Structure 1
Amino acid sequence: MNKILVVDDDVNIRKLIRLYLENKNFNVVEASNGQEALDLLSHETIDLAIIDVMMPEIDGIELTEDIRSFLNIPILMVTAKGESQDKVRGFSAGTDDYLVKPFDPVELTLRVTALLKRYNSISTNVIMIGSSKLDKEQLFVQSSDETVSLKRKECELLSELARSPGKIFTRSQLIEKIWGYDYEGDDRTVDVHIKRLREKLVPIADIKITTVRGLGYRLEEFN
Structure 2
Amino acid sequence: MKLLIVDDDLHIRRLIGIYLRDAGFEVTEAATGEEGLEIAQREPFDIVLVDLILPHYGGFRLCQKLKSADSPPRVVITTGDDSQHSRDLADEAKADAFLAKPFTREQLLAALQF
- 1:117-164 deviation per Cα after TM superposition (whole angstroms, max 9, x unaligned): xxxxxxxxxxxxxxxxxxxxxxxxxxxxxxxxxxxxxxxxxxxxxxxx
Moved over 6 A (4+): none
Match of 1:74 in 2: 74
Match of 2:41 in 1: 42
Per-residue deviation, 1:110:
2.1
Equivalent AA in structure 2 for residue 12 of structure 1: H
Instruction: Please give the alpha-carbon distance, in whole angstroms, between the structure 2 residues aligned to 1:44 and 1:80.
Output: 28
Per-residue deviation, 1:89:
1.0
Match of 1:30 in 2: 29
Is 2:5 the partner of 1:18? no
Instruction: Please give the alpha-carbon distance, in whole angstroms, between the structure 1 residues aligned to 2:57 and 2:98.
Output: 18
Instruction: Please give the alpha-carbon distance, in whole angstroms, between the structure 2 residues aligned to 1:21 and 1:27.
Output: 8
SS of 2:15's equivalent? helix
SS of 1:9's equivalent? coil
Identity rate of aligned residues, in percent? 30
Match of 1:99 in 2: 99
Instruction: Please give the alpha-carbon distance, in whole angstroms, between the structure 2 residues aligned to 1:26 and 1:86.
Output: 27
Instruction: Please give the alpha-carbon distance, in whole angstroms, between the structure 2 residues aligned to 1:82 and 1:62.
Output: 18
- 1:11-56 deviation per Cα after TM superposition (whole angstroms, max 9, x unaligned): 1111111111111111000000110011101111211000001111
Residues 105-124 of structure 1 mapped to structure 2, 5 A cutoff: 105-112=105-112, 114-115=113-114
SS of 1:67's equivalent? helix
User: What is the alpha-carbon root mean square deviation over aligned residues?
Assistant: 0.9
Contact 1:20-1:106 within 8 A present in 2 as well: no
Contact 1:6-1:31 within 8 A present in 2 as well: yes
Instruction: Please give the alpha-carbon distance, in whole angstroms, between the structure 1 residues aligned to 2:85 and 2:52.
Output: 13
SS of 1:56's equivalent? coil
Instruction: Please give the alpha-carbon distance, in whole angstroms, between the structure 1 residues aligned to 2:72 and 2:58.
Output: 19
Match of 1:56 in 2: 55
Q: Which runs of 5+ in 1 are unaligned?
A: 116-223
Per-residue deviation, 1:69:
1.4
Contact 1:53-1:79 within 8 A present in 2 as well: yes
SS of 1:51's equivalent? strand
